[in-house]
């Protein structure tokens, strides 16, 4: 049942004094092909979630015709230290389509409510403030 949708590498960095959470989308690898051409036009959409509500969303540029895109794009959210424990980031790798609607290739989540790696990555970020921590995350299907 575990479809291989590819992996996404990103780094998390939190500056408690400034209340700034930076997620840098570095690159993805082995993404699932979504187009008939056997490739995808992937971009990454990051949603700042609090108790299931989406507070903000940002996205990267679209990389044309590739299953191994490189982004190196930083996305910054303002999250005061007193709120950092209620926050999750929902990260979706999307396939851009000029016709019809954009499809989700896969998702991952980081934060207190996330599972295993997503929670470990988050806790590591909180343990080392001001230092970017990068990890690969396997993409999962949207439930």
Residue 48 has pLDDT above 90, yes or no: yes
Q: What separation in angstroms does the CA of 100 have from each of 91, 95, 97, 103, 131?
A: 22, 11, 6, 9, 40
Q: Is residue 122 part of a domain?
A: yes
1 within some domain: no
- Number of folded domains that form the chain: 1
Express each pLDDT in 83-121 by its tens digit.
999 999 999 999 998 887 899 999 999 999 999 999 999
Q: Percent of the chain scored above 90 by pLDDT?
A: 85
Quote the pLDDT of residue 1.
44
What does the radius of gyration of the chain's CA atoms come to, in whole angstroms?
15
What pLDDT, on a 0 to 100 scale, did the predictor assign at position 121?
98
- Interval 54-80: pLDDT, tens: 999 999 999 999 999 999 999 999 999
With helix as H, strand as E and coil as C, how does the chain read? CCCCCCEEEEEEEEECCCCEEEEEEEEEECCCCCCCCCCCCEEEEEEEEECCEEEEEEECCCCCCCCCCEEEEEEEEECCHHHHHHEEEEEEEEECCCCCCCEEEEEEEEECCCCHHHHHHHHHHHHCCCCCEEEEEECECCC
Contact 21, 79 (CB under 8 A): yes
89 lies in some domain: yes
Rounded-to-integer distance, Cα 36 and Cα 14, Å: 40
Global pTM value? 0.94
Query: At 103, which CATH number?
Result: 2.60.40.150
Could you tell me if 117 and 91 are in contact, meaning their C-beta atoms sit under 8 angstroms apart? no
Boundaries of domain holding 94: 6-139
Pick the residue with more confidence: 2 or 47?
47
75: which 2 tokens? 């996305």
pLDDT-derived band at 2 (thresholds 50, 70, 90) equals low
């Amino acid at each position: 049942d575990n479809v291989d949708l590819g992996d996404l590498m990103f780094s998390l960095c939190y500056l408690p004094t400034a209340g700034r959470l930076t997620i840098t989308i570095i690159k993805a690898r082995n993404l699932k092909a979504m187009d008939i051409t056997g490739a995808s036009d992937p971009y990454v959409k990051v949603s700042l979630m609090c108790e299931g509500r989406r507070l903000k969303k940002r996205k990267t540029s679209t990389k044309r015709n590739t299953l191994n895109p490189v982004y190196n794009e930083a996305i910054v959210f303002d999250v005061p230290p007193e709120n950092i424990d209620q926050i999750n980031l929902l990260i979706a790798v999307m396939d851009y389509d000029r016709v019809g609607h954009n499809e989700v290739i896969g998702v991952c989540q980081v934060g207190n409510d996330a599972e295993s790696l997503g929670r470990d990555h988050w806790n590591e970020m909180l343990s080392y403030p001001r230092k970017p921590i990068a990890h690969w995350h396997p993409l999962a299907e949207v439930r």
